[in-house]
Chains A and B, each alone.
Chain A
């Protein structure tokens, strides 16, 4: 890589971390294409820690302060805020390298928060910062270097010729490292050329794999963070930090953390092969399990089970993943699920013939860029995964979006002329791969529309091709502008809420309730479902405040977890929950119990809801469940499981004698939509919101987030007719 010209630099006095916090955040301002760079080291107040804890919480708080009500995703005021949390940078316990990136999303037009593992967030913290804000738009492509060794920030004019992730990340590791061994002290955040035109571009977070002597990538894939990064004219963020101790967080009680770490390392060693097989196949172990439960998305979520799924079993992926290497994405992660395929020769695209390392695929990619688009070929999926990462495309939005396109094509809603010559039938490997290449390049108007996501594309198709909008809406697994992740939620009412009653869109990081509901039958009433849809989003999202990966919480469990605990208690994996609460105290010195953990989360959960409202969203009308999310849309889906669906209709007391399949489909949709509306209200009530999905004044006051601007905003939108009737019994806290 050619030498880069230094445009500006700024030195800072590094703040030492104490009990998990450095109490400083970094601000980098790029100006507005006017070279007016600015930097600041901001204080973290006690109130910020008390109300927002860290990670996603800090991101939302800093973004709230940075933007105006009218700020759009591509305005200079929009920020990308990256923050770890108090656990971030611990080396003794698995899954402590996570950070959240918070920004106004081009797809959802409200805040998005996207998580990534790896080294960037720990290094940022060791450099002295609990969070980093990136605001403004540079006047030329820049590389921002956070030099955690010399306590300075430098902004260079980028000389990268290929801005795609694997190319530029390798170059930047080499550029800033003294030698080969030094490459592991660096992490690079990039997007790729897809970010130029697509709204579904994510960010890649690199780390250097010392065994493979190569760059590996984790992704903050969703929501269009890469699109925002590109439009700020930032080619890459680079961080370097060489030295750190095993107690860089200056915790109160290191021994508790070490003992907990060793005990779970041993548990993972002993049990992982019999449980989730993370160390051998990563999250792709879910392929055959989801197929067995009819949860695998096939042909745009039409079906959930196929005999062809045998081709994509985790055993098939195990043959391709290199075994026996240390595949953790930050030090101390013994779950080591960051699997990779080595020496993979690409068959398509501009790097055809080249041998590469492919990171993944994760389950989401294996399903989304697999059976959801009718392709049951691991090697094809691995190649699609590679290019998606390289170009900066979110594999979930790409997979779900392409699945929807394939169905539109097969229904005749779009044709070969519209697609500029591509036959986008399900399973057409060559043309779908070419489609991915064209989306990345923004090759033509059709590809550009597709790259902006399903909600944009369907409006475009209706306007330009005369495609039927109603049908496109029924079959599009999208809500609040975001494509759904790769689980079929149709047959679990609780998971309708887990997808379509979320803050940011149908991403499963709030609640995954399908087994608890559909299989265990532990949530029979709306009240039970509402309780779960209050509890689990707050529980899951607690991890996002801390810098934690959730996989070591419940993708490994004590062998006697199901023996010692029953019901919902077992689902919490109490021993691991206890580890996290103890470690939080061991880091910060502050006691924390389960109720306190939920409260920490509830504050940020409701603040984020208010932020959605501020950006013009955040009400009931945006919590829309598409027909495909509630059940079959066409007769062929019903006929894949006729007895099952007949039984479902009979549960409503319907006499199905003599009914046509088309009528049965329509009737089940009607009943389920009524159930959906009831569920929505039950969940809003439990969350302390009104009937329009807006947090009440009482709720924000209880949580201590009743800041003047929050209250003013709520008063504009809260209406008396939207209030729930007061209960006879006191409401549960």
Chain B
């Protein structure tokens, strides 16, 4: 299990940031992603593997046109 913004979510083998974003349908682009308090830069979303038990923060900026 991992937590995403405090909510418990399933972990899976090979879970990358990109896979997690797609799974949660987090399609908003003005975001920053932190795994266990370390920032993951956008170019590494597809390659960064999230470990089991990780605390993930996916912080969305304000929206609303």
Q: Within 8 Å by CB, do A and B touch in the complex?
A: yes
A536 / chain B contacts, CB cutoff of 8 Å: 62
A residues 490-531 near B (Cβ < 8 Å) are 508, 512-516, 519-522
Bound-state Cα–Cα, A293 to B28, Å: 9
The answer to whether B5 and A514 have CB atoms under 8 Å apart is no
From A289, A362, A554, A570, give the contact of B27 (CB < 8 A).
A289
CB-based contact B63/A563 at 8 Å: no
B61 and A573 form a contact (CB under 8 A): yes
Are B27 and A516 interface neighbours, CB within 8 A? no
Distance in angstroms between the alpha carbons of A570 and B6 in the assembled complex: 19
Contact indicator B29/A520 (Cβ below 8 Å) = no
Task: Judge if A555 is at the interface, Cβ distance under 8 Å.
Answer: yes
Q: Is A112 an interface residue (CB 8 A)?
A: no
Known: A519-B58, A520-B59, A521-B6. A487 touches B64 (CB 8 A): yes
Residue from the list B28, B30, B58, B65 in contact with A364, Cβ < 8 A = B65
State whether A275 touches B65 (Cβ < 8 A). no
A residues near B59, Cβ cutoff 8 Å: 520, 522, 562, 566-567, 570
- A561 vs B27: C-alpha distance when bound (angstroms): 18
Cβ of B61 and Cβ of A557 under 8 Å apart?
yes
* CB closest residue in chain B, given A522: B59
Does B65 contact A283, Cβ atoms closer than 8 Å?
yes
Chain B residues whose C-beta falls within 8 Å of the C-beta of A521 in the assembled complex: 5-7
User: Given A283-B65, A362-B65, A554-B62, are A562 and B28 also a contact pair (CB < 8 Å)?
Assistant: no
What chain A residues lie within 8 Å of B27 (beta carbons)?
288-289, 292
Give the shortest distance, in Å, between B9 (CB) and chain A (any CB): 13
Complex Cα gap A286–B25 (Å): 14
Q: State whether A286 touches B60 (Cβ < 8 A).
A: no
A276 on interface, CB distance cutoff 8 Å: yes
Q: B32: CB under 8 A from chain A?
A: yes
Contacting A at CB under 8 A, from B1-16, are 5-7
Centre residue among B7, B59, B63, B64 by max chain A CB count within 10 A: B64
In terms of DSSP, what is the predominant structure of the interface of chain A?
helix
User: Whole-angstrom distance between the alpha carbons of A589 and B55 in the complex?
Assistant: 47
B26 touches A562 (CB 8 A): no
A557 x B30 contact (CB < 8 A):
yes
Most buried by A among B5, B28, B62: B62
B31 interface residue (CB < 8 Å to A): yes
A363 sits at the interface (CB 8 A):
yes
* Chain A: minimal CB distance from B31 (Å): 7
User: Which residue from chain B places its CB closest to the CB of A555 in the assembled complex?
Assistant: B65
Q: Which residues of chain A from 455 to 495 have a CB within 8 Å of any chain B CB?
A: 487
Interface centre among B5, B41, B58, B65 (most CB of A within 10 A): B65
Q: Is B39 positioned at the interface, with any CB of A under 8 Å from its CB?
A: yes
Task: With CB as the reference atom, state the residue of chain A lying closest to B7.
Answer: A521
Task: Kindly identify, within residues 39 to 65 of chain B, every residue whose CB is under 8 Å from any CB belonging to chain A.
Answer: 39, 41, 57-65
Which of chain A's residues have a CB closer than 8 A to the CB of B41?
563
Contact of A512 among B57, B58, B63 (CB under 8 A): B63
Known: A512-B62, A521-B5, A571-B62. A292 touches B29 (CB 8 A): no
On whether the beta carbons of A292 and B26 are closer than 8 Å, the reply is yes
Q: Are B32 and A563 in contact (CB under 8 A)?
A: yes
Q: Of A274, A516, A520, which is in contact with the most chain B CB atoms at under 10 Å from its CB?
A: A520
A573 surroundings in chain B (CB, below 8 A): 61
Residues of chain B contacted by A1 (CB below 8 angstroms) = none
The answer on a CB contact under 8 Å between A508 and B64 is yes
Residues of B contacting A275 in the complex (Cβ-Cβ under 8 angstroms): 29-30
Q: How far is the CA of A76 from the CA of B14 in the complex (A)?
A: 70
Contact assessment for A562 and B61 in the assembled complex, using a CB-CB cutoff below 8 Å? yes
Q: A292-B26, A562-B31 are in contact. Are A515 and B61 (CB under 8 A)?
A: yes
Complex Cα spacing A275 to B30, Å: 6
Main secondary structure of the interface of B (DSSP, over half): loop
Within 8 Å of chain B (Cβ to Cβ): is A551? yes
Is the Cβ of A286 less than 8 Å from the Cβ of B65? yes
Interface size on B, residues (CB 8 A): 22
Smallest Cβ distance from B63 to chain A, in angstroms?
A: 6
Chain B nearest CB from A161 CB (Å) reads 36
Residues on A with C-beta less than 8 A from B31 are 562
Q: How far is the CB of B3 from chain A (nearest CB, A)?
A: 10
Q: Does the CB pair A276–B29 fall under 8 Å? A: yes
* Chain B contacts for A557, CB-based, 8 A: 30, 61
Residues A514 and B29 in contact in the complex (CB < 8 Å), given A520-B5, A521-B5: no
The answer to whether B32 and A562 have CB atoms under 8 Å apart is yes
Instruction: Give the distance to chain A from B51, nearest Cβ to Cβ, in Å.
Output: 21
A512 engages B64 (CB within 8 Å): yes
Binary B-proximity of A245-279 (CB < 8 A = 1, otherwise 0)? 00000000000000000000000000000111000
CA distance A512 to B64 in the complex (A): 6
Give the nearest-CB partner of B22 in chain A. A292
CA gap between A571 and B61 in the complex, in Å: 5
Contact present for B63 and A286 (CB under 8 Å): yes
- The answer to whether A289 touches B28, judged by C-beta atoms less than 8 angstroms apart, is yes
A519: B residues at CB distance < 8 A: 5, 26, 58, 60
What distance in Å separates the Cβ of B38 from its nearest Cβ neighbour in chain A?
Answer: 11
With contacts A293-B28, A562-B31 taken as known, whether A516 is within 8 angstroms of B65 at the C-beta atoms is no
B37 to A, closest residue via Cβ: A566
Which residues of chain B come closer than 8 Å to A555, judged between CB atoms? 65
Interface centre among B5, B26, B58, B60 (most CB of A within 10 A): B60
Can you name the residue of chain A whose Cβ is closest to the Cβ of B28?
A289
Q: Which residues of A sit under 8 angstroms from B64, Cβ to Cβ?
A: 487, 508, 512, 514
Contact for A551 among B7, B60, B65, CB less than 8 A = B65
User: A363 to B7, alpha carbons, bound, how many Å?
Assistant: 30
Chain B neighbourhood of A362, CB < 8 A: 65
In Å, the complex CA distance between A516 and B62 comes to: 7
Q: Of A289, A364, A561, A570, which one neighbours B63 at CB under 8 angstroms? A: A289
Q: Contact between B39 and A292 (Cβ–Cβ < 8 Å)?
A: no
A364–B41 Cα distance when bound, in Å, is: 32
- Kindly list chain B residues whose C-beta atoms are within 8 Å of the C-beta of A514: 63-64
Q: Which residue of A lies closest to B31 (CB)?
A: A562
Instruction: List the A side residues contacting B30 at CB < 8 Å.
Output: 275-276, 554, 557, 561-562
Residues of chain B contacted by A566 (CB below 8 angstroms):
59
| Bound Cα distance from A567 to B26, whole angstroms | 18
* Contact yes or no, A363 B28, CB < 8 A: no
Contact digits for A349-366, partner B, Cβ 8 Å, 1 yes 0 no: 000000000000011100
- Take A520-B60, A566-B59 as given contacts and tell me if A515 and B65 are in contact as well, using a CB distance cutoff of 8 Å: no
List residues of chain B with CB under 8 Å of any chain A CB. Answer: 5-7, 25-32, 39, 41, 57-65
A–B pairs, 7, beta carbons within 8 Å: A286-B63, A293-B26, A515-B62, A519-B60, A561-B61, A562-B59, A567-B59
Footprint of B on A, CB under 8 Å?
A: 274-276, 283, 286, 288-289, 292-293, 362-364, 487, 508, 512-516, 519-522, 536, 551, 554-555, 557, 561-563, 566-567, 570-571, 573
Task: In the A-B complex, list the 5 residue pairs whose CB atoms are closest, starting with the nearest.
Answer: A562-B32, A512-B64, A283-B65, A515-B60, A292-B25
- Contacts beyond the supplied A288-B27, A512-B64: 20 A-B pairs with Cβ under 8 Å: A274-B29, A275-B30, A276-B29, A276-B30, A286-B65, A362-B65, A487-B64, A514-B63, A515-B28, A515-B60, A519-B58, A520-B58, A554-B30, A555-B65, A561-B61, A562-B39, A563-B41, A567-B59, A570-B32, A571-B62
